[in-house]
Amino acid sequence: MTEKMLKFVSLEKKMPPKRAADNRRQDFNEIYDEFDQDRAKEQASRCSQCGIPFCQVHCPVQNNIPDWLMMTAAGRLEEAYEVSQATNNFPEICGRICPQDRLCEGSCVIEKGFNSVTIGAVEKYITDTAWENGWVKPTKPVVEREQSVGVIGAGPGGLAAADQLRKKGYQVHVYDRYDRAGGLMIYGIPGFKLEKEVVERRSRLLQDSGITFHLNFEVGRDATLAELRERHDAIVIATGVYKSRDIAVPGSGLGGIVPALEYLTASNRKGLGDDVPAFEDGTLNATGKNVVVIGGGDTAMDCVRTAVRQGAKSVKCLYRRDRKNMPGSLREVVNAEEEGVEFVWLSAPKAFLGDTSVTSVRAIDMHLGIPDSTGRQVPVEIDGSEHDIPCDLAIKALGFDAEDIPTLFNEPKLDVSRWGTISVNFKTAMTNLDGVFAVGDIVRGASLVVWAIRDGRDAAASVHQYLEKRAASEKRALAS
């Protein structure tokens, strides 16, 4: 039965059923169940089909959201999938991990008083249904081209670029230093947000499409950037940023103080069945410990919720601003609170205490002062408010910076910005090296998966234009 649209006036917003907190604390499975067909059609029918779809405007990949919502409401799911995947290489992943409350759903015009359309959950339902019904198929290019492109990095930006270039018929080779494709989608994001089979299924599809993966391959060790340029007609760098930001307070060198990515990677590797000595010996394992996570972004939310599932004695999140001003998804904060995480708002670490390993964090209360040049209120310490928080494992989730790029790639001629990221022409995504492009976090700094996908798609279009022009130039040279 086809659902009529504009039902937001009579139908409440509903997410798919969420597993009880006591139940989901016991494993790393995703916390939301699937919509059934009737619920997905009902929720899709709440869309107002507005003339200017702000949900689409504020989606980094410009998804045609009203169109595939209308098709879902009409039961035309295969068409809905075709529209959804036309602008997004990984809609089943974005449906799970995008902070919709800050992007499409947060921009929905019916949000005021009625609550926004459940966009992310419907997107996930559409694509999971497509996989179940065999509608998702490997790419078969109309024409095979002799030109090859090397993509460095098998994260979302690199894989999106590789997928788009393969659709054009290029011979695509993806190089990654890890033993699995997916980057942070495999090793950084916990399974309760993104089960690993979802990523591995997509990687297998790309391989079946004719993309060649070179895993456990580190540029700078197994080949220099210059050597890869000799092998390929163009290069796309999409390595992401992995260098954790540190905090300069007394006691930072004590044992039991670890970067967020090391902690999350150990947990994800353990879940994938790998041998992880640092997990087994307790170095990167929260079991039975008082855990303090420092930071307020999505990575901090991943850490606190992982610690809960590992059986931590207590889990606290220290953030120097308040709930309203935190950068992470508020939906994730609610999930964490349900699972037993305590948020210590307006609090920042002053020192780590202990002899050889951390035993407590000395924190100080903050208040929000006048806004800075960005418009955000500046946190200011409250004198005399220091207090100690018991801590056996402190996790620093303060963001990520780029590594020393020229040294990493053994290419001193590659230009970098003053932030340490790769400098590019923002119209073409090309670096100062001819035929070398860069996308994602390695250019824009630590950001969202969906932005990396957008960058990868844009760079693939620029690579195609570059190679077409070069082929035409070579053809004219031969003719003359």
Q: Which of 332, 338, 372, 365 is nearest to 350 (CA)?
A: 365
Mean pLDDT (whole number) for 72-93: 96
Residue 165 has pLDDT above 90, yes or no: yes
Note the pLDDT tens digit of each residue in 322-335.
999 888 888 899 99
480 vs 324, higher pLDDT: 324
pLDDT at residue 2 in the model: 59
pLDDT at residue 297 in the model: 92
Residue 1 has pLDDT above 60, yes or no: no
Mean pLDDT (whole number) for 87-105: 94
Write down the mean pLDDT value for the chain: 94
Q: How confident is the model at residue 112 (pLDDT cuts 50, 70, 90)?
A: low
CB < 8 Å & 24+ apart, contacts of 220-229: 220/407, 220/408, 220/409, 220/410, 224/409, 224/410, 224/411, 225/152, 225/409, 225/410, 225/411, 225/414, 225/436, 226/410, 226/411, 228/150, 228/152, 228/175, 229/433, 229/435, 229/436
* C-alpha span between 304 and 64 (Å, rounded): 34
Distance of CA 467 to the CA centre of its chain: 29
What are the structural domains of the chain?
A: 7-132 (1.10.1060.10), 148-241+402-479 (3.50.50.60), 249-399 (3.50.50.60)
With a pLDDT cut of 70, the percent of the chain lying above it is 99
* C-alpha span between 20 and 476 (Å, rounded): 67
Q: How confident is the model at residue 113 (pLDDT cuts 50, 70, 90)?
A: low
Mean pLDDT (whole number) for 216-229: 94
Mean pLDDT (whole number) for 409-422: 91
Question: Cα dist. 99→8, 95, 103 in Å?
Answer: 22, 9, 6
Contact in structure between 251 and 351 (CB atoms under 8 Å) = yes
For 56, the token pair is 């689409």
Contact in structure between 347 and 319 (CB atoms under 8 Å) = yes
111 vs 129, higher pLDDT: 129
Mean pLDDT (whole number) for 219-235: 95
Please give the model's pTM, rounded to 2 decimal places. Answer: 0.94
Note the pLDDT tens digit of each residue in 250-301.
999 999 999 999 999 999 999 999 999 999 999 999 999 999 999 999 999 9
Q: Is 47 helix (H, G, I), strand (E, B) or coil?
A: coil
